[in-house]
Amino acid sequence: MRTGLEQIIDGCVLSEDINGKSKEPLMKKETVMDEEKLEVLRAFMVKEIEVEPYLISGEPFKPGYKIKKKNEADGRIEMETTDISIQFKKQAEQFERMFNSWQSGVSIDIPKVREIVLPLIDLFKDQPKELLNIPNYYTGKDYIAQHCLAVSLMSSYIANQLNFPSGEINQIALAGALSDCGMSKIQPSVLLKRLALTDKEFAEIKQHSIQGYKMIKDIAVIKEGVKVGVLQHHERMDGSGYPLGVKGDQLHPYGKIVALADTFMAMICPRPYRNGLSPFKVFEEIKHDSFGKFDLTAVNVLSKMLARILNGSHVKLSDGTIGEVIFTDSQKPVRPIIRLESNQILQLEKRIDLYIVETLL
Protein backbone atom coordinates (compact mmCIF):
# COMPACT_ATOMS: atom_id res chain seq x y z
CA MET A 1 0.00 0.00 0.00
CA ARG A 2 1.20 3.50 -0.85
CA THR A 3 1.37 5.61 2.29
CA GLY A 4 2.50 9.12 3.16
CA LEU A 5 5.75 9.28 5.13
CA GLU A 6 4.04 11.02 8.05
CA GLN A 7 1.90 7.91 8.66
CA ILE A 8 4.74 5.36 8.57
CA ILE A 9 5.57 3.79 11.94
CA ASP A 10 8.39 1.61 13.28
CA GLY A 11 8.04 -1.91 11.92
CA CYS A 12 6.62 -1.02 8.51
CA VAL A 13 8.19 -3.11 5.74
CA LEU A 14 8.98 -1.71 2.28
CA SER A 15 7.19 -3.60 -0.49
CA GLU A 16 9.12 -1.85 -3.28
CA ASP A 17 12.58 -0.35 -3.75
CA ILE A 18 12.87 3.39 -3.18
CA ASN A 19 14.90 4.77 -6.06
CA GLY A 20 17.13 7.81 -5.85
CA LYS A 21 19.26 9.56 -8.44
CA SER A 22 21.97 6.89 -8.38
CA LYS A 23 21.78 3.44 -9.97
CA GLU A 24 21.44 1.76 -6.58
CA PRO A 25 18.12 2.06 -4.71
CA LEU A 26 18.00 4.54 -1.87
CA MET A 27 16.39 1.75 0.18
CA LYS A 28 15.65 -1.77 -0.87
CA LYS A 29 12.47 -3.79 -0.74
CA GLU A 30 11.90 -5.59 2.61
CA THR A 31 13.73 -2.88 4.58
CA VAL A 32 12.13 -2.53 8.03
CA MET A 33 11.39 1.11 8.77
CA ASP A 34 12.38 2.98 11.93
CA GLU A 35 12.85 6.64 12.83
CA GLU A 36 16.45 6.72 11.61
CA LYS A 37 15.46 5.46 8.15
CA LEU A 38 12.53 7.89 8.05
CA GLU A 39 14.95 10.75 8.70
CA VAL A 40 17.03 9.62 5.72
CA LEU A 41 13.94 9.60 3.49
CA ARG A 42 12.90 13.05 4.71
CA ALA A 43 16.38 14.33 3.88
CA PHE A 44 15.91 13.06 0.31
CA MET A 45 12.47 14.72 0.13
CA VAL A 46 10.62 11.40 -0.21
CA LYS A 47 6.90 11.94 0.43
CA GLU A 48 5.30 8.52 -0.07
CA ILE A 49 6.48 4.89 -0.02
CA GLU A 50 5.03 1.45 -0.76
CA VAL A 51 4.77 -0.77 2.32
CA GLU A 52 3.34 -4.16 3.20
CA PRO A 53 -0.07 -4.32 4.89
CA TYR A 54 1.56 -6.01 7.89
CA LEU A 55 4.28 -4.87 10.28
CA ILE A 56 7.43 -6.96 10.82
CA SER A 57 5.76 -8.23 14.01
CA GLY A 58 2.87 -9.67 12.02
CA GLU A 59 0.41 -7.05 13.28
CA PRO A 60 -1.70 -5.40 10.56
CA PHE A 61 -0.46 -1.94 9.56
CA LYS A 62 -3.17 0.71 9.83
CA PRO A 63 -2.25 4.07 8.28
CA GLY A 64 -3.33 6.83 10.63
CA TYR A 65 -2.39 4.84 13.74
CA LYS A 66 0.82 4.62 15.74
CA ILE A 67 2.15 2.14 18.28
CA LYS A 68 1.02 3.07 21.75
CA LYS A 69 2.68 0.29 23.74
CA LYS A 70 3.56 -3.36 23.61
CA ASN A 71 1.77 -5.66 26.01
CA GLU A 72 4.60 -7.48 27.79
CA ALA A 73 2.33 -10.35 28.85
CA ASP A 74 1.37 -11.58 25.37
CA GLY A 75 3.45 -9.40 23.04
CA ARG A 76 0.38 -7.76 21.50
CA ILE A 77 0.96 -4.29 20.06
CA GLU A 78 -1.70 -1.77 21.06
CA MET A 79 -2.40 1.08 18.66
CA GLU A 80 -3.28 4.69 19.36
CA THR A 81 -5.30 6.59 16.77
CA THR A 82 -3.75 9.58 15.05
CA ASP A 83 -6.52 9.78 12.48
CA ILE A 84 -6.52 13.17 10.80
CA SER A 85 -10.26 13.68 11.23
CA ILE A 86 -10.00 13.15 14.99
CA GLN A 87 -7.11 15.62 15.25
CA PHE A 88 -9.00 18.17 13.16
CA LYS A 89 -12.09 17.93 15.37
CA LYS A 90 -9.98 18.12 18.53
CA GLN A 91 -8.21 21.27 17.35
CA ALA A 92 -11.52 22.78 16.18
CA GLU A 93 -12.95 22.32 19.67
CA GLN A 94 -9.99 24.22 21.12
CA PHE A 95 -10.38 26.95 18.52
CA GLU A 96 -14.07 27.23 19.34
CA ARG A 97 -13.24 27.84 23.00
CA MET A 98 -10.83 30.58 21.95
CA PHE A 99 -13.47 32.15 19.70
CA ASN A 100 -15.96 32.15 22.58
CA SER A 101 -13.39 33.94 24.74
CA TRP A 102 -12.97 36.60 22.03
CA GLN A 103 -16.72 37.13 22.12
CA SER A 104 -16.34 37.84 25.83
CA GLY A 105 -13.67 40.46 25.16
CA VAL A 106 -10.52 38.40 25.77
CA SER A 107 -7.56 39.44 23.61
CA ILE A 108 -6.17 37.09 20.97
CA ASP A 109 -3.34 34.92 22.27
CA ILE A 110 -1.16 34.23 19.21
CA PRO A 111 0.92 31.45 20.87
CA LYS A 112 -2.32 29.58 21.60
CA VAL A 113 -3.47 30.03 18.00
CA ARG A 114 -0.13 28.64 16.82
CA GLU A 115 -0.46 25.63 19.14
CA ILE A 116 -3.74 24.77 17.44
CA VAL A 117 -2.86 25.57 13.84
CA LEU A 118 0.75 24.49 13.31
CA PRO A 119 0.36 20.79 14.26
CA LEU A 120 -2.48 20.52 11.76
CA ILE A 121 -0.35 22.08 9.04
CA ASP A 122 2.26 19.35 9.57
CA LEU A 123 -0.47 16.70 9.52
CA PHE A 124 -2.06 17.89 6.26
CA LYS A 125 1.16 18.87 4.49
CA ASP A 126 1.39 17.36 1.01
CA GLN A 127 -1.96 15.58 1.44
CA PRO A 128 -4.33 17.28 -1.01
CA LYS A 129 -6.85 14.44 -0.76
CA GLU A 130 -7.20 15.08 2.96
CA LEU A 131 -7.86 18.77 2.28
CA LEU A 132 -10.84 17.75 0.18
CA ASN A 133 -11.95 15.40 2.98
CA ILE A 134 -12.27 18.28 5.45
CA PRO A 135 -16.02 18.71 4.70
CA ASN A 136 -16.51 15.20 6.11
CA TYR A 137 -14.93 16.29 9.40
CA TYR A 138 -17.51 19.00 10.10
CA THR A 139 -19.65 18.14 13.09
CA GLY A 140 -22.74 20.28 12.46
CA LYS A 141 -21.69 22.74 15.16
CA ASP A 142 -18.75 25.07 15.75
CA TYR A 143 -18.93 26.06 12.09
CA ILE A 144 -16.79 29.20 12.38
CA ALA A 145 -13.96 27.40 14.19
CA GLN A 146 -13.97 24.56 11.66
CA HIS A 147 -14.06 27.02 8.77
CA CYS A 148 -11.15 29.02 10.17
CA LEU A 149 -9.01 25.88 10.40
CA ALA A 150 -10.08 24.76 6.92
CA VAL A 151 -9.09 28.14 5.47
CA SER A 152 -5.80 28.04 7.37
CA LEU A 153 -4.92 24.60 6.00
CA MET A 154 -5.84 25.43 2.42
CA SER A 155 -3.96 28.75 2.65
CA SER A 156 -0.82 26.98 3.88
CA TYR A 157 -1.11 24.39 1.09
CA ILE A 158 -1.37 27.09 -1.58
CA ALA A 159 1.54 29.04 -0.05
CA ASN A 160 3.66 25.88 0.07
CA GLN A 161 2.96 25.10 -3.58
CA LEU A 162 3.89 28.69 -4.48
CA ASN A 163 7.27 28.10 -2.77
CA PHE A 164 6.89 30.60 0.05
CA PRO A 165 9.55 30.10 2.78
CA SER A 166 8.38 27.94 5.69
CA GLY A 167 8.22 30.91 8.07
CA GLU A 168 5.93 32.78 5.70
CA ILE A 169 3.78 29.68 5.15
CA ASN A 170 3.11 29.65 8.90
CA GLN A 171 2.26 33.36 8.82
CA ILE A 172 -0.15 32.84 5.91
CA ALA A 173 -1.71 29.95 7.83
CA LEU A 174 -2.22 32.31 10.78
CA ALA A 175 -3.89 34.83 8.47
CA GLY A 176 -6.26 32.08 7.36
CA ALA A 177 -6.99 30.99 10.91
CA LEU A 178 -7.65 34.57 12.04
CA SER A 179 -9.56 35.62 8.93
CA ASP A 180 -12.91 35.36 10.70
CA CYS A 181 -11.80 36.40 14.19
CA GLY A 182 -13.83 39.60 13.65
CA MET A 183 -16.99 37.48 13.56
CA SER A 184 -16.66 37.34 17.34
CA LYS A 185 -17.76 40.99 17.38
CA ILE A 186 -20.92 40.37 15.35
CA GLN A 187 -24.20 40.07 17.24
CA PRO A 188 -24.89 36.37 17.99
CA SER A 189 -28.46 36.78 16.68
CA VAL A 190 -27.00 37.68 13.28
CA LEU A 191 -24.10 35.24 13.44
CA LEU A 192 -26.29 32.23 14.17
CA LYS A 193 -29.22 33.17 11.92
CA ARG A 194 -30.22 30.32 9.61
CA LEU A 195 -32.61 32.34 7.44
CA ALA A 196 -31.64 34.88 4.78
CA LEU A 197 -29.97 38.00 6.19
CA THR A 198 -31.55 41.40 5.78
CA ASP A 199 -29.54 44.13 4.04
CA LYS A 200 -28.76 45.66 7.43
CA GLU A 201 -27.58 42.32 8.86
CA PHE A 202 -25.43 41.60 5.81
CA ALA A 203 -23.86 45.04 6.11
CA GLU A 204 -22.95 44.16 9.71
CA ILE A 205 -21.43 40.83 8.63
CA LYS A 206 -19.31 42.65 6.05
CA GLN A 207 -17.69 44.60 8.88
CA HIS A 208 -16.04 41.49 10.31
CA SER A 209 -12.89 42.02 8.22
CA ILE A 210 -12.41 45.47 9.75
CA GLN A 211 -13.27 44.17 13.21
CA GLY A 212 -10.72 41.38 12.82
CA TYR A 213 -8.02 43.81 11.70
CA LYS A 214 -8.68 45.99 14.75
CA MET A 215 -8.31 42.95 17.01
CA ILE A 216 -4.81 42.09 15.72
CA LYS A 217 -3.35 45.36 14.40
CA ASP A 218 -1.31 46.04 17.55
CA ILE A 219 0.01 42.48 18.01
CA ALA A 220 3.76 42.71 17.42
CA VAL A 221 4.55 39.00 17.03
CA ILE A 222 2.73 38.62 13.69
CA LYS A 223 3.75 40.13 10.39
CA GLU A 224 1.97 43.08 8.86
CA GLY A 225 0.99 40.75 6.02
CA VAL A 226 -1.12 38.69 8.43
CA LYS A 227 -2.99 41.78 9.55
CA VAL A 228 -3.55 43.00 6.00
CA GLY A 229 -4.50 39.47 4.91
CA VAL A 230 -7.26 39.39 7.54
CA LEU A 231 -8.48 42.81 6.40
CA GLN A 232 -8.43 41.87 2.71
CA HIS A 233 -9.68 38.29 2.62
CA HIS A 234 -12.99 39.38 1.05
CA GLU A 235 -11.40 41.77 -1.44
CA ARG A 236 -11.18 40.74 -5.09
CA MET A 237 -8.65 41.31 -7.84
CA ASP A 238 -11.19 43.29 -9.90
CA GLY A 239 -12.16 45.57 -7.00
CA SER A 240 -15.59 43.97 -6.48
CA GLY A 241 -14.89 42.83 -2.91
CA TYR A 242 -15.21 44.43 0.51
CA PRO A 243 -14.69 46.23 2.87
CA LEU A 244 -12.56 48.77 0.95
CA GLY A 245 -12.97 47.71 -2.69
CA VAL A 246 -9.21 47.67 -3.32
CA LYS A 247 -7.88 45.65 -6.26
CA GLY A 248 -4.90 44.29 -8.17
CA ASP A 249 -1.53 45.38 -6.82
CA GLN A 250 -3.24 46.98 -3.82
CA LEU A 251 -3.87 43.47 -2.50
CA HIS A 252 -1.24 41.84 -0.31
CA PRO A 253 -0.02 38.36 -1.41
CA TYR A 254 -1.29 36.93 1.89
CA GLY A 255 -4.72 38.43 1.28
CA LYS A 256 -4.89 36.98 -2.25
CA ILE A 257 -4.16 33.48 -0.99
CA VAL A 258 -6.56 33.60 1.95
CA ALA A 259 -9.31 35.07 -0.28
CA LEU A 260 -9.23 32.04 -2.57
CA ALA A 261 -8.88 29.55 0.29
CA ASP A 262 -11.79 31.15 2.14
CA THR A 263 -14.12 31.05 -0.88
CA PHE A 264 -13.19 27.51 -1.94
CA MET A 265 -13.51 25.98 1.54
CA ALA A 266 -16.73 27.88 2.30
CA MET A 267 -18.32 26.42 -0.82
CA ILE A 268 -17.17 22.79 -0.49
CA CYS A 269 -17.87 22.54 3.25
CA PRO A 270 -21.37 22.19 4.73
CA ARG A 271 -23.06 25.21 6.23
CA PRO A 272 -25.86 25.24 8.83
CA TYR A 273 -28.37 25.88 6.01
CA ARG A 274 -26.96 23.77 3.12
CA ASN A 275 -24.76 20.82 2.23
CA GLY A 276 -21.24 21.20 0.88
CA LEU A 277 -20.74 21.37 -2.88
CA SER A 278 -18.53 19.23 -5.11
CA PRO A 279 -14.98 20.68 -5.04
CA PHE A 280 -14.67 19.95 -8.76
CA LYS A 281 -17.85 21.88 -9.53
CA VAL A 282 -16.76 24.71 -7.21
CA PHE A 283 -13.43 24.99 -9.03
CA GLU A 284 -15.24 25.42 -12.34
CA GLU A 285 -17.36 28.18 -10.84
CA ILE A 286 -14.29 29.94 -9.46
CA LYS A 287 -12.41 29.63 -12.75
CA HIS A 288 -15.26 30.69 -15.01
CA ASP A 289 -18.01 32.54 -13.11
CA SER A 290 -15.49 34.37 -10.91
CA PHE A 291 -12.85 34.91 -13.60
CA GLY A 292 -10.67 37.91 -12.75
CA LYS A 293 -11.66 37.97 -9.09
CA PHE A 294 -8.88 35.74 -7.72
CA ASP A 295 -5.12 35.66 -8.15
CA LEU A 296 -4.31 33.45 -11.14
CA THR A 297 -1.21 31.85 -9.60
CA ALA A 298 -3.25 30.73 -6.59
CA VAL A 299 -6.06 29.42 -8.84
CA ASN A 300 -3.45 27.43 -10.79
CA VAL A 301 -2.40 25.73 -7.55
CA LEU A 302 -5.99 24.51 -7.10
CA SER A 303 -6.01 23.39 -10.73
CA LYS A 304 -2.85 21.28 -10.29
CA MET A 305 -4.08 19.90 -6.97
CA LEU A 306 -7.35 18.66 -8.47
CA ALA A 307 -5.58 17.24 -11.52
CA ARG A 308 -3.19 15.35 -9.24
CA ILE A 309 -6.08 13.93 -7.23
CA LEU A 310 -8.12 12.93 -10.29
CA ASN A 311 -5.32 11.37 -12.31
CA GLY A 312 -5.98 7.61 -12.34
CA SER A 313 -8.79 7.90 -9.78
CA HIS A 314 -12.20 6.31 -9.85
CA VAL A 315 -14.88 8.99 -9.70
CA LYS A 316 -18.59 9.35 -9.24
CA LEU A 317 -20.44 11.72 -11.57
CA SER A 318 -23.47 13.89 -10.80
CA ASP A 319 -25.80 11.35 -12.50
CA GLY A 320 -24.50 8.55 -10.28
CA THR A 321 -22.27 7.03 -13.00
CA ILE A 322 -18.90 5.66 -11.87
CA GLY A 323 -15.75 5.50 -13.96
CA GLU A 324 -11.96 5.75 -14.03
CA VAL A 325 -10.11 8.90 -15.07
CA ILE A 326 -7.74 7.91 -17.88
CA PHE A 327 -6.60 11.34 -19.07
CA THR A 328 -6.51 14.77 -17.44
CA ASP A 329 -5.96 17.98 -19.38
CA SER A 330 -3.95 20.44 -17.27
CA GLN A 331 -5.95 23.28 -18.82
CA LYS A 332 -9.27 21.68 -17.86
CA PRO A 333 -8.43 19.45 -14.90
CA VAL A 334 -12.00 18.81 -13.77
CA ARG A 335 -13.13 17.83 -17.29
CA PRO A 336 -11.06 14.65 -17.86
CA ILE A 337 -11.62 11.66 -20.12
CA ILE A 338 -13.30 8.86 -18.15
CA ARG A 339 -13.71 5.14 -18.82
CA LEU A 340 -17.12 4.19 -17.44
CA GLU A 341 -17.93 0.85 -15.83
CA SER A 342 -19.59 -0.10 -19.14
CA ASN A 343 -16.18 0.49 -20.85
CA GLN A 344 -17.69 3.46 -22.67
CA ILE A 345 -15.29 6.42 -22.99
CA LEU A 346 -16.75 9.70 -21.79
CA GLN A 347 -15.19 13.07 -22.62
CA LEU A 348 -16.49 15.15 -19.74
CA GLU A 349 -15.52 18.33 -21.58
CA LYS A 350 -18.36 17.61 -24.01
CA ARG A 351 -20.91 16.86 -21.28
CA ILE A 352 -21.43 20.17 -19.50
CA ASP A 353 -24.57 18.73 -17.90
CA LEU A 354 -22.35 16.41 -15.82
CA TYR A 355 -19.64 17.03 -13.28
CA ILE A 356 -17.50 15.01 -10.87
CA VAL A 357 -19.08 14.69 -7.45
CA GLU A 358 -16.30 12.83 -5.64
CA THR A 359 -13.33 10.53 -5.97
CA LEU A 360 -13.71 6.95 -4.75
CA LEU A 361 -11.29 4.64 -2.93
Q: pLDDT tens, 173-182?
A: 999 999 999 9
346 φ, ψ (degrees, to nearest 5):
-115, 125
Q: What's the predicted TM-score (pTM) here?
A: 0.77
Q: What percent of the chain has pLDDT over 70?
A: 94
pLDDT band for position 67 (cuts 50, 70, 90): very low
Q: How far apart are CA 353 and CA 46, in angstroms?
A: 40
Q: How far apart are CA 233 and CA 176, in angstroms?
A: 9
For the cut 90, the answer to whether the pLDDT of residue 357 exceeds it is yes
For the cut 80, the answer to whether the pLDDT of residue 71 exceeds it is no
Q: 229 near 258, Cβ under 8 Å?
A: yes
3-state secondary structure at position 270: coil
Closest CA to 336 of 319, 314, 44: 314
How far from each other are the two terminal CA atoms of the chain, in whole angstroms? 13
pLDDT, one tens digit per residue, over 30-63 is 999 998 899 888 888 888 888 887 888 877 776 6
